[in-house]
Structure 1
Amino acid sequence: MLPSVLNPTTAEKDAKDVVDMEIEYANITLPSDLRRDVTKWYNKMTTGELGDKFPGVEWKKLITGTMKIIGMSINDSEPVVAVSPSFLQKIGNVISKYPSRVIVNYVIGRMLLKGNVPLYLPEIFTSIKLRYQQVLSGTTQASPRWQKCSTNVKHAFPEAVGRLFVEEKFRTGAKENVLELVYNLKKTFKGMVDELTWMEDSTKQLAKEKADFMEVMIGYPELIFNDSALHTKYENVTVYIDDPLRTIMSVGEAAVIRGLQKLRKDVDKTDWFFSAAEVNAYNMFLTNQIVFPAAILQPPHYSYEQPAYLNYGGIGYVIGHEITHGFDDQGRKFNKYGGMINWWSDNDSAMYKDRAKCIIEQYSNFTVPGTGGMMLNGKLTLGENIADNGGVKETFKSPYCSYQAYREWLKTNRHGKEEQKLPGLNYTPNQLLFLNAAQVWCGETRNEEKIKRLYTDPHSPLMFRVNGPLQNSEEFSIAWNCPAGSYMNPSSKCTVW
């Protein structure tokens, strides 16, 4: 007879217990759209109060044991933030129903199936995860091994990989060129604020100050070329040449230590949350920063050599999107310094919510193809949809992007010489702006993955990141001569900014 640890019956029961417990966790978790209000995240209390308000878990013991890793002591007066009180009130009851064996199996299982970790385990782990992904996301085959390995290295050592990418791919002059784009789009946003008829002058002034104060980080952090600083950052990491799994575990442990060591210290505003080799961008509400890694400054988003109209339609849309995130339904709750301080009058706040409601209703009426008639969740995706709409409006109302001003730009910057048209395409510069804005969202998503994202993803499906904002754009309808009342030029349009 097999030992109990390897007995199939025991293993099956262990697995069922873990799944049952995770289902209970899910059932006490607020739906994604109800977790979006950042003002409900900040529930400051002491560790002593944490234990009193949320019984069933030895919070002080847990926190104290964790902080011992870095030699930091904790007492009952230590301030903490309870992000989700409704979850914390119930988690103790769930945990108490299961023996420690189930909890340990849950933790280890989550760790071993996380990301690309199964790549370094026996084949059965990769096979199990693939079967799981087939059901959840429709995946039919695993990604190539080289791709998983390179992703693991990028996540483990983002600065080192970012340095290699920057040295080979990031062109000198790109940073200054993109900074000019950001300046123009900030200027456009402030012009849009001035044109608002529903906002009081005092609130307008604060909005423009926040836009001016927004720090822009482009390309890469200086840290990646500082060998001494990199050695210090990874001093707790051990690389095992013949054991990549141990290396990943070491990287994870070191990351936890670095995170804990940041507590009780001022926020380091030079920190980047993505590698320079990551195709992405983000807005940090808490520091009022917008960040554009080097890797996103590539075609179709951007190229130093391509016509300006393509850059404004590509990376310009992304820049406008990130600027507007500072003023979406959550970003607007932070001031220019990143403090969660209300700078809105009651009337302006009510008017904002009314316009946001229009966006919610518009997107909630989109039916997502391939999902059996499921509708988009306009509440869950509200922040991203406001940012998409603001990004489009800023980009195409920019004084450097409207058709007539674009002609002036040519006179000033190119002495009247036309930019080259794209070969074989008889489109105007304005039309090409919109085409490239749509091009950056081209992609295919499996139906199973679409369904999963409708429940969890704060971004709208790709096609609606194009159709939604452009339906609300007067400039798009003019550029493409869309008939009034048609699908892409509806009579009722939504606008926040």
Structure 2
Amino acid sequence: MGKSEGPVGMVESSGCAGQKRPGFLEGGLLLLLLLVTAALVALGVLYADRRGIPEAQEVSEVCTTPGCVTAAARILQNMDPTTEPCDDFYQFACGGWLRRHVIPETNSRYSIFDVLRDELEVILKAVLENSTAKDRPAVEKARTLYRSCMNQSVIEKRGSQPLLDILEVVGGWPVAMDRWNETVGLEWALERQLALMNSQFNRRVLIDLFIWNDDQNSSRHIIYIDQPTLGIPSREYYFNSSSNRKVREAYLQFMVSVATMLREDANLPRDSRLVQEDMAQVLELETQLAKATVPQEERHDVIALYHRMGLEELQSQFDLKGFNWTLFIQTVLSSVKIKLLPDEEVVVYGIPYLQNLEDIIDTYSARTIQNYLVWRLVLDRIGSLSQRFKDTRVNYRKALFGTMVEEVRWRECVGYVNSNMENAVGSLYVREAFPGDSKSMVRELIDKVRTVFVETLDELGWMDEESKKKAQEKAMSIREQIGHPDYILEETNRRLDEEYSNLNFSEDLYFENSLQNLKVGAQRSLRKLREKVDPNLWIIGAAVVNAFYSPNRNQIVFPAGILQPPFFSKEQPQALNFGGIGMVIGHEITHGFDDNGRNFDKNGNMMDWWSNFSTQHFREQSECMIHQYGNYSWDLADEQNVWCGSYRPEFAIQSIKTDVHSPLKYRVLGSLQNLAAFADTFHCARGTPMHPKERCRVW
């Protein structure tokens, strides 16, 4: 699909299947950083000396600047020289780091990315808490939002009342009120309920309706209809297995506990039997929805997913027992004063899901469906409530992530404000931690890596000349965004303040502040329908430790948060920058040619520009990779820091189900086993683990 891709799996509680938000980059960068730096700079010398192998090239100059010394110390600390690199290069390069780092109690994993994010959050804490001078309106609003999140005493004092108030707005939560069927239920309409959840609370439940660039015409926006996300991160959890059952049982108990507490706070009897039955029905409904959805690994071919049609065809194909599509879509758009056009078209991604949804809607009562819709809103708002509500999710989080301890409050609040006011917070971060001349250095690196990628296309025997030429054109047309948008630092430019002009926060109303963010976020997205696509719009904030590729824009993005040591620094040798951010750059470029990105041309339009010859051989080359990675095994039963100390077992299971990227260890070993230059550099005999008899290559 046209969503942005990155080297890391995205973990985003509010993300949606069709939301087309960036995917995250994760731990594999440590590998290439250490490969180019440790292997070719420090490790090459150490290893050659230890084995008595003549060095290929005598070192003519030693860098002793503070940046070089710091980098050298980091490399040496990260190594495990007792391991043979030809047996297990991951342990050889990372073993020292793994010995020195234990997964914090609050974390489900730990890697160099988590270390950098921790450091970034420390910087954000300082700038958000700085109130010595009056700043521009956008920044002041971010600080007010942060203080409201940190105002724990007020949050505790208010208890569940903010949530009880909002339940009335959404038509009530049947499980937490009396006489729902006899009152509200009689006037209940699914179309209006879904529209309300979408436009006012940014919860796209049951049916995912969103606005994004038209895959076939990247200069305009269009309405998309897709399958939704679920309450549990992966559809696989709803199916039978021992680990899945533990998660489902904890999830159900979480639902029951919250509903029971709200009944008590509303001065209603506990009625344990009613609550248990209602929530069991909700879980059963969600299980059926999970079965109706298509696995993400089967949704990479956007050409097969994309079906554009008018509203009449939409209604005739997916009647859903009388569901009024025009009423639903128009009610959503009315929240931003947009009227449907007579010839309005929509793009349907989730045809199999919608075909299955009709029987589900027909099976379950309005009460159960309403219970489910409101539960998804309540689930999203638990973090804005008092501690006793957070305590209800402890066992669920343990089953899902392996963690028993909540993140410290200031980190939670920093993350929340950064996610919801990314440009305002980004302006503070950039001023504090991102030198302006770094942009030009990164741009030079991008040009060099892209040039090499284009040159290597000539080496590919499986691709014909016509497809190679178009691939080269696409690679050379990739646009880059580096660091941050310029306007967030321009004091005389009011654009940053205008982005948040509809937000008016109060330090004593954190729950209501969060609702404002949901509404403004939803409506900002919906307004794009009648707006021309802005090719210069940033798809993510600056204070993010990640990188992205957007197929619809044919664009790579490197926020200031990832342009930090050890990935990049103007103070460290260029070799380290090539090994760190250079690998990230290469990773993002190749996303433009993977099984999703390859469906888009140089202008970001969905187009099959591959010849039949190249398509067939691409699939054949990919089979080698599938076989190689399919033969890896990952022991998740050990309750220690699985292999590399980076994952808790529960989260390791989740990452297998939800992350399109391989686990850290195998992103390292798989890449290097296929790299002839690696075996040559470390003199690995053919047949050793790092020099297998068969190698795979696509690009």
Q: Scaled by the length of structure 1, what TM-score is found?
A: 0.82
Q: Name the SS for the 1:113 alignment partner.
A: helix
Match of 2:472 among 198, 202, 208: 208
Give the one of 442, 449, 463 matched to 2:651.
449
Q: Structure 2: which 5+ residue stretches go unaligned?
A: 1-262
Secondary structure of 1:216 counterpart? strand
**1:376-387 mapped onto 2 (5 Å cutoff):** none
Give the structure 2 partner of residue 347 of structure 1. Answer: 613
Determine whether 1:26 maps to 2:26.
Answer: no
SS in 2 for 1:291: strand
**Correspondences of 1:194-343 after superposition (within 5 Å):** 194-226=458-490, 227-343=493-609
The correspondence for 1:158, drawn from 411, 418, 422, is 422
- Shift of residue 151 of structure 1? 0.6
Specify the code of the residue in structure 2 equivalent to 1:89: Q
Which structure has more RCO (C-alpha within 8 Å, separation ≥ 6)?
Answer: 2
Q: How does 1:169-184 map to 2 (within 5 A)?
A: 169-184=433-448
CA contact (8 A) 2:384 2:514 kept: no
CA distance in 2, matches of 1:371, 1:89: 39
1:329 is paired with a residue whose SS is coil
Q: Distance in 1 between matches of 2:504 and 2:360?
A: 37
Give, in whole Å, the separation in 1 of the partners of 2:372 and 2:537. 32
1:89 Cα deviation from its structure 2 partner: 1.0
| CA deviation string 1:182-209 (max 9, x = no partner) | 0000000011001222222222111111
**Rounded Cα–Cα distance in structure 1 between residues aligned with 2:543 and 2:435:** 14
The answer on whether the counterparts of 1:55 and 1:89 sit within 8 Å (CA) in structure 2 is no
Corresponding position of 1:476: 678
Tell me which moved more, 166-175 or 73-82: 73-82
Tell whether 2:388 aligns with 1:186.
Answer: no
In the alignment, the residues of structure 2 paired with residue 306 and residue 75 of structure 1 have an alpha-carbon distance, to the nearest angstrom, of: 56
Give the alignment's Cα RMSD to 1 decimal. 1.9
Do 2:300 and 2:595's aligned partners in 1 also have CA atoms closer than 8 Å? no
Q: Aligned partners of 1:325 and 1:83: how far apart in 2?
A: 21
Letter matched to residue 220 of structure 1:
H
Secondary structure, aligned partner of 2:593: coil
Which aligned segments of 4 or more residues in structure 1 are displaced greater than 4 angstroms? 1-6
C-alpha separation in 2, matches of 1:275 and 1:157: 8
Residue aligning to 2:696: 494
Deviations 1:242-266 (A, max 9, x none): 1111111101101111111101322
Q: Which residue of 2 aligns with 1:137?
A: 401
Larger deviation, residues 194-203 vs 159-168:
194-203
1:309 to partner: Cα distance: 1.5
Extract unaligned runs of 5+ from structure 1: 373-440
Change in Cα spacing, 1:326 to 1:5, as seen in structure 2 (3 Å) is: farther
- For residues 202 and 347 of structure 1, what CA distance do their matches in structure 2 show? 10
Measured in 1, the distance between the counterparts of 2:378 and 2:681 equals 52
Q: Secondary structure at the match of 2:482?
A: strand
**Is the counterpart of residue 42 in structure 1 residue 319 in structure 2?**
no
Give the residue type in structure 2 aligned to 1:445: Y
| Number of the residue aligned with 1:66 | 332
- 1:461 corresponds in structure 2 to 663
Distance 2:588 2:650 in 1: 29
Is the 1:477–1:488 contact (alpha carbons within 8 Å) kept by the matching residues of 2? yes
Are the equivalent residues in 2 in contact too, given 1:371–1:451 (CA < 8 A)?
A: no
**Cα deviation 1:161-191 (Å, max 9, x = unaligned):** 1111100100132111111110000000011
Distance 1:74 1:50 in 2: 14
Structure 1 residue 360 displacement after superposition? 1.2
d(CA) in 2 for partners of 1:442 and 1:299? 21
Amino acid across the alignment from 2:654: K
The two structures have a TM-score, normalised by structure 2, of 0.59
Partners in 2 of 1:107 and 1:258 — Cα distance?
A: 22
Confirm or deny that 1:362 pairs with 2:362. Answer: no
CA distance in 2, matches of 1:59, 1:109: 23
Shift in CA distance, 278/215, structure 1 to aligned 2, threshold 3 Å: same
Q: How does 1:74-113 map to 2 (within 5 A)?
A: 74=340, 77-113=343-379
CA distance in structure 2 between the partners assigned to 1:88 and 1:76 by the alignment? 23
**Structure 1 residue 225: Cα displacement:** 2.7
> Once the 2 structures are TM-superposed, how far is the Cα of residue 308 of structure 1 from its aligned partner?
1.5
Q: CA deviation at 1:150?
A: 0.6
Distance in 2 (CA, whole Å) between partners of 1:125 and 1:482 is 56
- CA gap of 1:6–1:92, structure 2 versus 1, over 3 A, is farther
Deviations 1:116-158 (A, max 9, x none): x423213232112222111112112111111111110001100
The structural deviation recorded for 1:37 is 1.8
Report sequence identity in percent: 37
Match of 1:485 among 683, 687, 692: 687
Q: CA 1:442–1:79 in 2, change beyond 3 Å: closer, same or farther? A: farther
Judge conservation of contact 1:162–1:277 (CA < 8 Å) in 2: yes
Look up the SS of the partner of 2:545 in the other structure.
coil
- 1:310 Cα deviation after fit: 1.3
1:26 to 1:121, Cα distance in 2 relative to 1, 3 A: same
Task: Judge conservation of contact 2:506–2:513 (CA < 8 Å) in 1.
Answer: yes
How many aligned residue pairs are there?
427
Alpha-carbon distance between aligned partners in 1 of 2:683 and 2:695, rounded to the nearest angstrom: 16
Task: Give the secondary-structure state (helix, strand or coil) at the position aligned to 2:529.
Answer: coil
Per-residue displacement from partner, 1:41-64 (whole Å, max 9, x unpaired)?
211011221111112132221111
SS of the residue aligned with 1:283? strand
| Residues 460 and 371 (structure 1), Cα distance of their counterparts in 2 relative to 1, 3 Å cut | farther
- Could you report, residue by residue, the CA deviation over 1:22-47 in whole angstroms, capped at 9, with x for unpaired residues? 11110111122112221122110112
Task: Summarize deviations over 1:76-129 as a string: whole Å, max 9, x none.
Answer: 631001111000111122123223332233223222323xx4232132321122
